[in-house]
Chain A
Amino acid sequence: MAFLDNLINGMSLGSIYAVIALGYTLVYGIAKMLNFAHGDVIMVGGYVVFTAMVTANLSPWLSILIGIAACTVLGIVIEKVAYKPLRKASSLSVLITAIGVSYFLQNMALLVFGEKPRTFTSVVNIPKISLFDGKVVIKGETIAAIIVSVVIVVCLSLFVNHTQKGRAMLAVSEDKDAAQLMGINVNSTISLTFAIGSGLAAIAGVLLCSSYPTLTNTTGAMPGIKAFVAAVLGGIGSIPGAMIGGILIGVIEILGRAYISPQLADAIVFAVLILVLIVKPTGILGKKVNEKV
């Protein structure tokens, strides 16, 4: 029963990783860059929702909407200010800039919200489910995380594959010049990608803080990096891959913590990254590049 408990917890955490990984994977797929500030957008989302809900006493739903809006705008601004000027720069410059943005956000949050950790109140009011006479309890937060992540993956897949804007994203991800020749505005498509990814980060922030209520300026950093591992494991650039990778990383982390060593759980997650990079660098659902002359 303890195993089932751990498995469910892993899936719950993994669902949150999946939502974060979607942000990584979308931005990587379309802008071909790793936005290492993505995890910190989650933290900003957490603080915004916290402030709206606790300080301003707004309803949870309204607070979440404000959080999503704030992160969407933040994502667009980050892209415009920090990444757009580097569109033609080397990927190393972009990576260093992303790390810079990450530290900037963390320290801005420290400045604005102080170093004292805030205790987030869960926004989930789904009743828990007891199984096997209460031996296995599934918390409302767990159910919410899994449902939300599945809904997001389905909606995002439909959006990308079946709408004009989504197909523009696919075209830009493959060939920016050719996309322009179709009449696609590459800059606004990249902007849209950052907007979606960052909006999802806000949702991930709410889910994360509802399950793990301590909110500090580095709350998003570790989950951000683990979600990056999840995106690589699932095949970076692939939407269903982010989901699979996220769930797997969550389960590996929780099972590792329970059965191997609580201290080594994080190390195990990163060992998975190294293994994937050695054995199958394209990840589980990564695309093989078709080349034909």
Chain B
Amino acid sequence: MAMLEIKDLCVNYGVIKALKGISFEVNEGEVIALIGANGAGKTTTLHTITGLINAKSGSIVLEGKDITRTPAHKIVKMGIAHVPEGRRIFQNLTVLDNIRLGAFTRKDKDGIAEDIEKVYKLFPRLSERKTQVAGTLSGGEQQMLAMGRALMSKPRIVVMDEPSMGLSPILVSEIFEIIESIRKQGTTVLLVEQNAKKALSIADRAYVLETGKIVLSGKASDLINDESVKKAYLGE
């Protein structure tokens, strides 16, 4: 059984059909990439999974439990953390407060303290800036904070929305290395990326979205060599 199973998911914004019945699955330990152009429905898919948007029809099943109608604030505790597009860190709070908020649903004080140290180990720059107000961080640091914050809920699946957006090539590589190490620690990753080449290079499998539909899917290593993918998304 797949860890996360999306079936015939439809989402409307008013009269606009953003998702027209998409189905895919994420298995434990995988890195899955969702790629596609702007407006294809990638962000909508993630928002619907974590409950920020309601589905019109279809289902989202996490480890056998239907979470289609579960409100966003309850999803975190069930094991899905969301690194939103544009980071959405709490700009006026300190770095440490942001990280602590990531553990909002947890009650184990010792475990939280331990995990804060783990986040610092993964992102040493956050440790240097823990008392700094988060709004003063650079774009790359903010992205790291958003990722660290998400990890604090001890998720089994992390969904990440455009983690490389607006970052310099060096930082992009750094972010992707971190995604690798998150996977190595046993966390499943569902990744939405404009940077299809990078995404496909670290993903196990991928789905290609086009105007609310999945038009192609398969092993990432196959898709990266697929002629139509190359043309449309890899700029070759």
| Chain A residues proximal to chain B, CB less than 8 Å | 164, 167-168, 170-171, 174-175, 177-178, 180-186, 287, 289-293
Given known A-B contacts A180-B51, A181-B82, A183-B77, A164 and B92 have beta carbons under 8 A apart: no
Given A167, A168, A290, which contacts B136 in the complex, CB threshold below 8 Å?
A: A290
Tell whether A167 pairs with B76 under 8 Å between CB atoms, given A175-B88, A178-B89, A292-B136: no
Do B104 and A292 touch across chains, with their CB atoms under 8 A apart?
Answer: no
Residue-wise interface mask of B (188-209) relative to A, using a CB-CB cutoff of 8 A (1 in contact, 0 not): 0000000000000000000000
* Complex CA–CA separation, A168 to B93 (angstroms): 11
25 examples of A-B residue contacts, CB within 8 angstroms:
A164-B104, A167-B101, A168-B101, A168-B104, A170-B92, A170-B93, A170-B97, A175-B90, A177-B72, A177-B84, A177-B88, A180-B71, A181-B50, A181-B52, A181-B88, A182-B105, A183-B104, A184-B73, A184-B104, A185-B71, A290-B91, A290-B135, A292-B136, A292-B138, A292-B142
Give bound CA distance, A269 to B76, whole Å: 48
B135 touches A167 (CB 8 A): no
How distant is the Cα of A174 from the Cα of B76 in the complex, in angstroms?
A: 19
Question: What number of A-B contacts does a CB cutoff of 8 Å give?
Answer: 81
- Identify B93's interface contact among A164, A171, A181, CB under 8 A: A171
The 8 closest A-B pairs by CB, nearest first: A290-B135, A183-B105, A183-B76, A180-B72, A178-B88, A182-B104, A181-B82, A185-B73
B166 touches A (CB below 8 Å): yes
Other than the known A182-B102, A183-B153, what 7 A-B pairs have Cβ atoms closer than 8 Å? A170-B93, A182-B149, A183-B76, A183-B105, A184-B104, A290-B136, A292-B136
Complex: A170 Cα to B92 Cα, angstroms: 9
B21 at the interface (CB under 8 A from A): no
Say whether B101 contacts A292, CB under 8 Å. Answer: no
Query: Shortest CB–CB separation between residue A84 and chain B, in angstroms?
Result: 14
Closest Cβ of chain B: how far from A30's Cβ, in Å? 13
> What are the interface flags for B78-103 relative to A under an 8 Å C-beta threshold, 1 for contact and 0 otherwise?
00011010001111110001001110
Shortest distance between the CB of A36 and any CB in chain B (Å): 26
Closest CB in chain A relative to B40 CB, distance in Å: 21
Q: Which residue of A lies closest to B51 (CB)?
A: A180
Residues from chain A with a CB closer than 8 A to the CB of B137 are 292
Residues of B with C-beta under 8 A to A185: 71, 73
Q: Per a CB cutoff under 8 Å, which of A167, A186, A292 touches B97?
A: A167
- Please report B residues at the A interface, Cβ cutoff 8 Å: 50-52, 71-74, 76-77, 81-82, 84, 88-93, 97, 100-102, 104-105, 133, 135-139, 142, 149-150, 153, 166
By beta carbon, the residue of chain A nearest B142 is A292
Contact call B84/A178, Cβ cutoff below 8 A: yes
**Cα(A174)–Cα(B82), bound, Å:** 17
Q: How far is the CA of A178 from the CA of B135 in the complex (A)?
A: 15
What CA separation (Å) do A99 and B104 show in the bound complex?
36
Q: Are B73 and A183 in contact (CB under 8 A)?
A: yes
**Contact residues in A for B97 (Cβ distance below 8 Å):** 167, 170
Give the distance in Å from the alpha carbon of A167 to the alpha carbon of B102 in the complex: 11
CA distance A238 to B166 in the complex (A): 32
* A178→B24 CA distance, assembly (Å): 25
- Name which of A171, A182, A287 has the most chain B CB atoms within 10 A of its CB: A182
Whether the pair B101, A290 counts as a contact (CB closer than 8 A) is no
Complex contacts, B89 vs chain A, CB 8 Å: 178
> Which among A167, A174, A289, A293 is the interface contact of B139 at CB below 8 angstroms?
A293
Assembly CA distance A37 to B86 (angstroms):
36
CA distance A287 to B93 in the complex (A): 12
Task: Check if B90 sits within 8 Å of A174, measured CB to CB.
Answer: yes
Other-chain residue from A181, A287, A292 in contact with B72 (beta carbon distance below 8 A): A181
B154 → A minimal CB distance (Å): 11
Residues of B within 8 A of A177 (CB): 52, 72, 84, 88
B88: chain A residues within 8 A (beta carbon) = 175, 177-178, 181
